């Protein structure tokens, strides 16, 4: 009850304070409006005095003097609110004006102001309800020469100029000021922004100039005083919190006990999971010092957790001979440049045994979202490396055997290719020997025969060496390679078989092809296999149409080689399994040729595919990345 009474008292105090604020704001509006009205009146009376001082000059011969014009210019361009000054005689005939241009409503304004002045005997004001140009009013100041009325000096005001020059900036910040006619329509306003506090408005007659004009002031919304509201809200919240906290304290304690028990269970489960991991986990701070290791990491490296926590680079498990490279990787990790695919490194265990590891690093973020270090996971990939090396060796053996099989199938053609230079060698040697025995052959002809013999022997040697390079088992030798040269060498290997099968070989080679990083013999193996498959595909093609075309081209990223035959094409059901291992459409085939070809091209980071050739036949393509 005491808390409720306190809250009620605070609410009442705040309500009274806000009411007093509204009354003070209303009083401030009235005071500011009265001040503004007095300020405008003083300004208009001061302007009447300036016009009265100027009248003797305007109704004399000095009206057009430079001094008079300078004073008129100053009045029209100054802060008095004048738009123009007109002086007329007692019959209201215009004697002069500044600026010289008159506006359509000027005669009516002059007439009204002069009539008002004549009726009152002092300065009179005129107003046109619906002006054709910018709204305004005029003041007519009479000038007498003794008792004789000489004329009137009439100043035309623009309402907008009056508001901009006579209303101070602080008034515009607080209020929206507008001038309204006798019908209540707004003639002009100081601001186009609508007021936000219509209850803070006040309207007084605008006299002079009169004619039913009024000044209306509308206050902008004044921010509510936040201190009483904040105080009352704080007291209310405090009272409610006091009652509610007593009720919820026991529930909070029970929930906290349950949460602690759940946390202990969660920690136990996570600890068990972490201890069962085969992946080594290691946490480091921003300087690279180890702050945590899991049991798998300790088993992998041979040191205990107590020994490893606190270690700083260089680590004792780094290999001495690879210290600089490992330090460079460590610096990249601390700089946040760890590759997403991880880093492969070699480490040593505490007993000196070396092993291969795959290291992944990620930023370690604490509960506040702050980067406090790095979390690394380490996989022992020694056995995987051994398996990959064994698979690589098996693949090389398979490729070598495939080349042997291919060369065995081409043996008859190669034997025929070798028979030609060997027969020529025998013929040249026999002829030269007989000529030497008889002594009837000139020395120049003997030398020519021996040169031809050497040429044929060299040709045979090239054939044998080419076959030897193609079939011998060796390590991969990747180097800058020109694909056009591979095509030329492959054509030398298959041209004998092409003649035997009646196939015409064509090469459409692009000039200035960029180099690729490749193993030349492997590419020859792929091309020879694709060419011989093209020979087989054209077995039933008429002899005059048996043409096999090998073409090369390149774009910005790839060098592409294409093999086009004129065979019967590949059925869709066969094309789906064409590159599968042990799948073949040949009666005596092994089903490994295209599978090995695709493996070789993928080893070169390229791709191998086929498509139906327009007009009949098949197109095989393989593309290799351009050497950078």
Q: pLDDT tens across 319-367, in order? A: 888 888 888 888 888 887 777 778 888 888 888 888 888 888 888 888 8
Answer whether residue 286 shows pLDDT above 80. yes
What pLDDT is attached to residue 590?
Answer: 43
Strands laid side by side in the 175-180 sheet: 186-189, 175-180, 214-219, 201-205
Find the helix or strand (DSSP H, E) in which 372 lies.
strand 371-380
264 or 420, higher pLDDT:
264
Buried b (16+ CB within 10 A) or exposed e, 557-587: ebbbbbbbbbbeebeeeeeeebbeeeebeee
Answer whether residue 75 shows pLDDT above 80. no
Q: Give the integer Cα–Cα distance in Å for 599 and 523.
A: 11
Q: Domain map of the chain by residue range? A: 2-219, 278-380, 390-475, 478-628
What pLDDT is attached to residue 467?
Answer: 57
421 or 539, higher pLDDT:
539
What pLDDT is attached to residue 27?
Answer: 80
Q: What is the mean pLDDT of residues 46-66?
A: 81
- How many Cβ atoms sit within 10 Å of the Cβ of residue 503? 23
What pLDDT is attached to residue 584?
Answer: 59
Provide φ and ψ at 612, rounded to 5°.
-75, 135
- What separation, in Å, do the N-terminal and C-terminal C-alpha atoms of the chain show? 86
What pLDDT is attached to residue 587?
Answer: 44
Q: What is the mean pLDDT of residues 105-124?
A: 85
What pLDDT is attached to residue 112?
Answer: 86
pLDDT in tens, 18-40: 777 777 777 877 888 888 888 88
Residue spans of alpha helices (H) in 316-409: 323-334, 382-409
Q: Give the integer Cα–Cα distance in Å for 409 and 414.
A: 10
Q: Give the integer Cα–Cα distance in Å for 189 and 217.
A: 10
Question: What dihedral do alpha carbons 466, 467, 473, 478 form, nearest 10°?
Answer: 30
Taking alpha carbons only, the member of 145, 156, 56 closest to residue 97 is 156
What pLDDT is attached to residue 497?
Answer: 80
What pLDDT is attached to residue 592?
Answer: 46
Q: What is the mean pLDDT of residues 388-409?
A: 60
> With respect to CATH, is domain 478-628 assigned 3.30.413.10?
no
Answer whether residue 305 shows pLDDT above 50. yes
| Domain 278-380: CATH architecture, name and number where available | 2-Layer Sandwich (3.30)
529 or 549, higher pLDDT:
549
Q: What is the mean pLDDT of residues 291-302?
A: 85
Question: What dihedral do alpha carbons 518, 524, 530, 535 form, nearest 10°?
Answer: 160
What pLDDT is attached to residue 196?
Answer: 59
Question: Is the whole-model pTM more than 0.95?
Answer: no
| CA–centroid distance for 28 within its chain | 55
Q: Which of 21-35, 544-558, 568-582 has the lowest mean pLDDT?
A: 568-582
Q: Give the integer Cα–Cα distance in Å for 602 and 608.
A: 8
Find the helix or strand (DSSP H, E) in which 13 lies.
helix 2-58
**Cβ contact 260:244 at 8 Å:** no
Q: Give the integer Cα–Cα distance in Å for 102 and 134.
A: 13
**Cβ contact 220:195 at 8 Å:** yes
At residue 378 the predicted structure's pLDDT band, cuts being 50, 70 and 90, is confident
Per DSSP, 575 falls in state H
∠ CA 396-401-406 to the nearest 5 degrees? 125
What pLDDT is attached to residue 628?
Answer: 47
CA distances from 87 to 84, 100, 150, 152, 496 (A): 10, 11, 10, 6, 120
Two tokens at 107?
């005669």
Which class in CATH covers the domain with range 2-219? alpha beta
Answer whether residue 173 shows pLDDT above 50. yes
Q: Give the integer Cα–Cα distance in Å for 346 and 617.
A: 52
Place of tokens 């999971």: 273
Provide φ and ψ at 514, rounded to 5°.
-70, 160
Residue spans of alpha helices (H) in 145-285: 159-166, 169-174, 226-276
- How many Cβ atoms sit within 10 Å of the Cβ of residue 6? 14
Q: Give the integer Cα–Cα distance in Å for 435 and 455.
A: 20
Answer whether residue 160 shows pLDDT above 60. yes
Place of tokens 């000139």: 442
**585: helix, strand or coil:** coil
Place of tokens 């694709």: 530
355 forms beta bridges with: 347
What pLDDT is attached to residue 3?
Answer: 67
Identical fold between 390-475 and 478-628: no
Q: What share of the chain is helix, strand, coil (3-state, %, to 5)?
A: 50, 20, 25
Q: Give the integer Cα–Cα distance in Å for 181 and 188.
A: 10
**479: helix, strand or coil:** strand
- What's the mean pLDDT when you consider all of the chain? 78
CA distances from 366 to 230, 269, 281, 566 (A): 36, 21, 17, 67
Residue spans of alpha helices (H) in 472-588: 483-501, 520-537, 572-575
What pLDDT is attached to residue 163?
Answer: 80
> With respect to CATH, is domain 390-475 assigned 3.40.50.620?
no
- How many Cβ atoms sit within 10 Å of the Cβ of residue 516? 25
Answer whether residue 80 shows pLDDT above 80. no
Taking alpha carbons only, the member of 555, 563, 538, 547 closest to residue 622 is 563
What pLDDT is attached to residue 28?
Answer: 79
**Cβ contact 490:528 at 8 Å:** yes
Percent of the chain whose predicted confidence (pLDDT) is above 90: 4
CA distances from 58 to 62, 67, 121, 152 (A): 7, 11, 20, 10
Cis peptide bond prior to 53, omega within 30° of 0: no
């Amino acid at each position: 009850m005491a808390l409720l009474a306190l809250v009620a008292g605070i609410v009442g105090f705040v309500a009274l304070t806000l009411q007093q604020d509204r009354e003070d704001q209303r009083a401030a509006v009235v005071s500011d409006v009265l001040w503004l009205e007095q300020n405008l009146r003083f300004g208009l009376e001061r302007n009447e005095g300036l016009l009265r001082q100027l009248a003797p000059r305007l109704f004399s011969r000095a009206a057009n003097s430079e001094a008079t014009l300078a004073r008129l210019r100053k009045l029209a361009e100054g802060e008095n609110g004048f738009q123009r000054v007109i002086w007329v005689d007692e019959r209201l005939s215009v004697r002069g004006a500044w600026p010289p241009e008159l506006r359509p409503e000027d005669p009516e304004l002059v007439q009204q102001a002069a009539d008002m002045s004549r009726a009152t005997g002092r300065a009179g004001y005129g107003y046109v309800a619906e002006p054709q140009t910018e709204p305004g009013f005029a003041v007519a100041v009479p000038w007498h020469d003794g008792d004789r009325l000489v004329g009137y000096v009439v100043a035309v005001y623009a309402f907008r100029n009056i508001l901009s020059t006579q209303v101070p900036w602080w008034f515009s910040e607080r209020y929206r000021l507008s001038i309204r006619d006798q019908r209540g329509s707004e003639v002009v306003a100081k601001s186009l922004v609508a007021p936000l506090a219509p209850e803070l408005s006040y309207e007084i007659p605008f006299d002079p100039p009169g004619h039913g004009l009024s000044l209306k002031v509308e206050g902008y919304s004044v921010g509510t005083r936040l201190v009483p509201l904040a105080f009352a809200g704080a007291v209310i919240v405090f009272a409610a919190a006091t009652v509610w906290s007593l009720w919820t304290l026991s529930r909070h304690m029970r929930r906290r006990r349950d949460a602690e028990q759940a946390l202990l269970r969660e920690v136990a489960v996570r600890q068990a999971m972490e201890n069962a991991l085969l992946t080594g986990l290691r946490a480091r701070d921003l300087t690279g010092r180890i702050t945590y290791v899991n049991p798998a990491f300790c088993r992998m490296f041979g040191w205990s957790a107590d020994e490893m926590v606190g270690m700083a680079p260089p680590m004792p498990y780094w290999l001495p001979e690879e210290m600089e490279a490992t330090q460079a990787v460590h610096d990249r990790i601390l700089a946040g440049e760890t590759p997403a695919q991880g880093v492969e490194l070699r480490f040593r265990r505490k007993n000196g045994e070396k092993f291969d590891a795959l290291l992944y690093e990620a930023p370690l973020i604490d509960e506040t979202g702050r980067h406090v270090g790095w979390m690394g996971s380490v996989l022992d990939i020694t056995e995987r490396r051994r398996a990959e090396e064994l698979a690589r060796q098996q693949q090389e053996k398979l490729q070598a055997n495939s080349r042997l099989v291919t060369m065995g199938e081409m043996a008859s053609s190669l034997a025929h290719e070798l028979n030609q230079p060997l027969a020529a060698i025998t013929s040249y040697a026999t002829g030269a020997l007989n000529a030497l025995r008889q002594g009837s052959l000139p020395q120049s002809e003997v030398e020519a025969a021996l040169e031809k013999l050497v040429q044929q022997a060299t040709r045979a040697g090239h054939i044998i060496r080419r076959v030897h390079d193609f079939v011998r088992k060796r390590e991969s030798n990747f180097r800058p390679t020109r694909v056009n040269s591979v095509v030329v060498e492959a054509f030398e290997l298959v041209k004998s078989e092409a003649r035997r099968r009646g196939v015409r070989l064509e090469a459409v080679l692009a000039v200035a092809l960029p180099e690729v990083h490749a193993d030349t013999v492997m590419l020859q193996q792929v091309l020879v296999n694709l060419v011989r498959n093209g020979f087989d595909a054209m077995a039933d093609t008429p002899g005059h149409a048996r043409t096999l075309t090998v073409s090369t081209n390149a774009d910005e990223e790839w060098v592409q080689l294409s093999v086009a035959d004129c065979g019967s094409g590949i059925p869709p059901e066969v094309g789906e399994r064409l590159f599968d291992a042990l799948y073949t459409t040949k009666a005596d085939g092994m089903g490994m040729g295209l599978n090995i070809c695709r493996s070789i091209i993928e080893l070169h980071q390229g791709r191998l595919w086929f498509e139906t050739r327009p007009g009949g036949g098949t197109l095989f393509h393989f593309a290799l990345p351009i050497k950078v």
